[in-house]
Amino acid sequence: MSTPFLPFGLPDIGEDEIAEVVDTLRSGWITTGPKARRFEQDFAAFLGDASLQAIAVNSATAGLHLALEALGVGPGDEVITTTHTFTATAEVVRYLGADVKLVDIDAATLNIDPVAVEAVIGARTKAIVPVHYGGLAADMPRLLATAARHGLKVVEDAAHALPTTLGGALVGTLASDAAVFSFYANKTITTGEGGMLVTRDAALAERARVMRLHGMSRDAFDRFVAKVPSWYYEIVAPGFKYNLTDIAAALGIHQLKKARAFQQRRAAIAARYDAAFAALPLVLPPRPAAGDTHAWHLYAVRLADEAVARGLTRERFIERLFEQGVGASVHYIPLHLQPYWRDRYALEPAMFPASQRAYERIASLPIYTRMSEADVERVVGAVRAALG
């Protein structure tokens, strides 16, 4: 009997999540309400910093858009981010009519290269958006110092980074202007679709809350037009429809409780892969600093020179994994290769040598909590065989 296909990723939804969703469905209140509020409070408590506000949204893309909008990014501005990311990181800048300045990555960490950032800062630069690639923290001390020196805002794309630490501090509590987490189906915790914007900036938080729901200012109403009936509201801006439903928040409340246990399971899989692949012609994912946590959203290996010299391509490597019933993926096809970004900014691979080289050799292996020990060993065996 042939073994079933091992998919690249699967969500880990338990009975607690299912019961909470059913409770929401029976409650009579299914859109944004008490459970979204509770998820926000739990999320802020998880980060453990009372000065933070957490704002639930229906995607990380929405959260990134809201953060940059609240910081005043607009036409004429430029925002620096990494080419080695998903398009959502950059597209939100274009929503606001601002320009994207893509830069290369550090070849060792696959995170945005702070030296490359420094090199492209100009008069129009308004903000930097680092991504914590795969769940490994970007070089935030350098990026924050650069931003401070040039008066720039920093919004972290923390879509992979729950929970990630840097110098012992959780991503979400660092000294940026905002951080945005994703709860998309394949992320480290999931609500199907969803995200969380966290910030210490009270003005940013207030603007994001208003813009999250059509630009309705209930707070302004409460402050200035007290004691009129509750049907009254004012529209203070052309806002968006980015609120998280209570159905989704019901999932998030229980997923969040498991976030640390999930991370530990993924870290154990990563450790097993590291040991099993140590002698193979692969460049393994970089480790975090001693004492720090890697969220292990991705476990991305790169073909080493030896493997490439023998004629193995990344395409063939992934094909061989699939032939053995093991799913794999590529993170990412860099933005400089995507037709829209390439053509809009006349980008060429030679401008991003580290990202380009990584892209040509990289493959992400399955790393998720529903994998059994046998599944992990299947991946190990398949990788060995695929390398020949």
Interface with ligand PLP by CB under 6 A: which range of 17-25, 157-165, 312-320, 349-357?
A: 157-165
Q: Identify the residue among 157, 177, 201, 246 touching ligand PLP (CB under 6 A).
A: 157
Q: Identify the residue among 32, 53, 59, 255 touching ligand PLP (CB under 6 A).
A: 59
CB of 67 to ligand PLP, least distance (A): 12
Q: Identify the residue among 46, 184, 240, 273 touching ligand PLP (CB under 6 A).
A: 184
Contact between 183 and 13 under an 8 Å Cβ cutoff? The reply is no
What whole-number distance in Å separates Cα of residue 279 and Cα of residue 287?
17
What whole-number distance in Å separates Cα of residue 356 and Cα of residue 336?
9
How many chain residues interact with ligand PLP (CB under 6 A)?
14
Contact between 329 and 364 under an 8 Å Cβ cutoff? The reply is yes
| Interface mask toward ligand PLP for 218-237; x: CB under 6 A | --------------------
For position 182 contacting ligand PLP by CB under 6 A, the verdict is yes
Q: Identify the residue among 24, 32, 53, 61 touching ligand PLP (CB under 6 A).
A: 61
39/277 with CB nearer ligand PLP: 39
For position 60 contacting ligand PLP by CB under 6 A, the verdict is yes
- Active-site residue, 257 included: no
What whole-number distance in Å separates Cα of residue 248 and Cα of residue 146?
37
CB of 181 to ligand PLP, least distance (A): 8
> What dihedral angle (degrees, nearest 10) is formed by the CA atoms of 185, 190, 193, 197?
-130
For position 136 contacting ligand PLP by CB under 6 A, the verdict is no
Provide long-range contacts, Cβ within 8 A and 24+ apart, for 282-290.
282/307, 282/383, 282/387, 283/361, 285/134, 285/136, 286/108, 286/109, 286/110, 286/136, 288/136, 288/137, 288/164, 288/165, 289/166, 289/167
CB of 184 to ligand PLP, least distance (A): 4
For position 195 contacting ligand PLP by CB under 6 A, the verdict is yes
Single-letter amino acid, residue 363: A
Contact between 284 and 94 under an 8 Å Cβ cutoff? The reply is no
Catalytic residue (one of 35, 101, 187, 257)? 187
Single-letter amino acid, residue 360: E
Interface with ligand PLP by CB under 6 A: which range of 22-30, 81-89, 171-179, 378-386?
A: 81-89
For position 47 contacting ligand PLP by CB under 6 A, the verdict is no
367/380 with CB nearer ligand PLP: 367
For position 131 contacting ligand PLP by CB under 6 A, the verdict is yes
Q: Measured in Å, how far apart are the chain's first and last C-alpha atoms?
A: 24
| Interface mask toward ligand PLP for 83-122; x: CB under 6 A | --xx-xx---------------------------------
DSSP per-residue letters across 192-239? SS-EEEEES-HHHHHHHHHHHBTTB-HHHHHHHSTTS-TT---B-S--
Bridge partners of residue 180, in order along the sequence = 157, 197
CB of 187 to ligand PLP, least distance (A): 6
Contact positions toward ligand PLP, by CB under 6 A?
A: 59-61, 85-86, 88-89, 131, 157, 159-160, 182, 184, 195
Residues with catalytic function: 187
